[in-house]
Structure 1
Amino acid sequence: MAASAISIEGLTKRFGTLTAVDGLTFDVAPGRVTGFLGPNGSGKTTTLRMVLGLIEPTAGRAVIGGRPYREIPRPMRLVGAALEASSFHPGRTALGHLKTLAPQTGVSTARCREVLEFVGLGPAADRRVGGYSTGMRQRLGLAVALLGDPQIIVLDEPANGLDPQGIVWLRELLRSLAHEGRTVLVSSHVLAEVRNTVDDVVVISGGKLIQASTLAEFESLAETAVGVRTPVPDAFAVLAHDRGWAVSEGPGGFRVDGQDGATVGSAAFAAGIELHQLVDIGADLESVFLRLTSEDRR
Structure 2
Amino acid sequence: MDDLAFTVRPGAVTGFLGPNGAGKTTTLRMLLGLTRPTAGRALVGDRPYTSYERPGTVVGAALEASSFHPGRTGLGHLEVFAPQVGVSKQRCRQVLEAVGLDHAAKQRVGKYSLGMRQRLGLATALLADPPVIVLDEPTNGLDPEGIVWIRRLLRQFAAEGRTVLVSSHLLREVEASVDDVVVIAQGRLRHASTLAELRTRATPAAYVETPRPDALATLAADRGWTVQPDGDGTLVDGANAAEVGAAAHAAGLELHELVRRDVDLEALFFELTRPEEAR
The TM-score with structure 2 as length reference comes to: 0.97
Q: Which residue in the other structure is 1:296 paired with?
A: 276
Matched pairs, number: 278
User: How far is 1:122 from its partner?
Assistant: 0.3
Q: CA deviation at 1:136?
A: 0.1
More helix by share: 2
CA distance in 1, matches of 2:173, 2:164: 15
Q: Does 1:27 align with 2:3?
A: no
Question: Can you list the C-alpha shifts for 1:198-224, whole angstroms capped at 9, x where unaligned?
Answer: 000011100011111111111111000
The alignment status of 1:239 with 2:193, answered yes or no, reads no
Return structure 1 stretches of 4+ with deviation > 4 angstroms: none
- State whether structure 2 residue 131 is matched by structure 1 residue 151: yes
Q: CA RMSD in A?
A: 1.2
Of the candidates 161, 182, 190, which is equivalent to residue 141 of structure 2? 161
Aligned equivalents of 1:135, 1:73: Cα separation in 2: 32
Q: 1:222 aligns with which of 202, 212, 224?
A: 202
- What is the CA distance between 1:245 and its match in structure 2? 2.6
Matched ranges for 1:18-167 at <5 A = 21-167=1-147
Matches of residues 184-263 of structure 1 in structure 2 within 5 Å? 184-263=164-243
Q: Aligned AA for 1:218?
A: L
**Deviations for 1:154-174, whole angstroms, at most 9, x for unmatched residues?**
000010000000000000000
Q: Distance in 1 between matches of 2:179 and 2:72?
A: 37
What is the distance in 2 between the residues matched to 1:251 and 1:102?
58
Change (3 A) 1:273 1:146: same
Q: Please, which runs of 5 or more residues in structure 1 have no aligned partner?
A: 1-20
Distance apart, 1:233 and its partner CA: 2.3
Q: Give the superposition deviation at 1:240.
A: 2.8
Task: Report the identity percentage.
Answer: 65
Q: Supply the distance in 1 between the matched residues of 2:140 and 2:53 (Cα, whole angstroms).
A: 31
Name the structure with the higher strand share.
Answer: 1
2:255 to 268, 271, 275: 275
Query: What does the per-residue CA deviation read over 1:105-160, in whole Å, with 9 as the maximum and x for residues that have no partner?
Result: 10000000000000000010000000000000000000000000000000000100
Q: Which runs of 5+ in 2 are unaligned?
A: none
- d(CA) in 1 for partners of 2:230 and 2:131? 51
> Alignment partner of 2:29: what SS?
helix
